[in-house]
Amino acid sequence: MGEKGKVCVTGAGGYVASWLVKLLLSKGYTVHGTLRDPQNEKNAHLMKLEKASENLKLFKVDLLDYNSLSAAITGCNGVFHCIELHTVQIVIVKMHYAGLLLLVNPDCIQVQLIEPAVKGTINVLEACSEANVKRVVVVSSGKAVSENPDWPKGRVMDETCWSDKEHCRRTKYWYALSKTEAESAALEFAKTSRLDVVRVCPTFVLGPMLQSTTNASSLVLIKLLKEGNEEQENRLLKIIDVRDVAEALLLAYEKPEANGRYICTAHMIKLQDLVEILKRIYPNYNYPKKVTQGKEEENISSDKLQKLGWSYRPLEETLVDSVEGYKQAGLLDQNESVIPL
């Protein structure tokens, strides 16, 4: 067993989870990683991580199958629940970013997105309780915080703010609804059990990818670089680096005083300003020709997480590392040179 003990990471092949597994291995943990299909080529990057051959064990698990989940969690001191989206769920998230959610049947959303997210979370927590896990860190989302039209105007959103479920239903923001429902279920479970549950809510996650498949948030940045004829709304982006999210999750696990909920965000920036930064570094990409006025949005604060000892890297570092990674993966033109910052 690794010197720090044994922990489980659910959905280990995902964007955030992969970086968390990498960080845990580097810190001396033994890691149980759950995957729907450990043999799938898209998960091959995990066993290539440093120390993976000695300290990483992959389990074939469906989060809706309690017995398979329990086998992966038994014997672990801690668990990181990085909610793993099924194929249909991923399609729904991508449809949200593409503005196509009006085409999705709400009944399908309930069955394919929301119920599995809630049931999977409860299954994880029940297995953790049975296995006497000392702490569970649940990865929620900033979208479980920010979709609240009744929040006072001009007041920075903090951990007391929750997305309004009915508002999410009315606006068909199904991804935000699923994250809010799943985190609410985790909170209620923690209240009625003795399980130590800490929740972390990352906002818009960018940074280099370890996995071979493109995640939804990276697709937004790729689209910004490549689809210049498409009109974009000048919305407020709340950006956080994937590596800083991994550090936040580890901090939430290791710090005895960690409790409750933590917003994990770093940079508040309008899309137009983000485009200007990217143009300065990478002037030759096909940026949007027109950016329309976006709705007013409240800022969101990670003060509580920073008081725990967390910090984050500069935005430019995240952007450059993201774009360079996309280029290496063949997702962007390969002849684009970087202008030094």
Catalytic residues: 179
Report how far Cα 188 is from the mean position of its chain's Cα atoms.
Answer: 21
Sheet holding 78-82, edge to edge: 56-60, 30-35, 6-10, 78-82, 135-139, 197-202, 261-264
Contact 44, 20 (CB under 8 A): no
Contact 242, 15 (CB under 8 A): yes
For residue 206, give both structure tokens.
Answer: 């960018």
Cα gap 128→77, rounded to integer Å:
9
For residue 254, give both structure tokens.
Answer: 């290791």
Contact 266, 239 (CB under 8 A): yes
Give bridge partners of residue 80 from the DSSP assignment: 9, 137
Contact 244, 266 (CB under 8 A): yes
Compute the C-alpha angle 67/71/74, nearest 5°. Answer: 125
211 contact partners, CB below 8 Å, separation of at least 6: 13, 14, 15, 18, 42, 43, 45
71: left (phi over 0), alpha (psi -120 to 50) or beta: alpha
297 backbone dihedrals φ, ψ, rounded to 5°: -130, 150
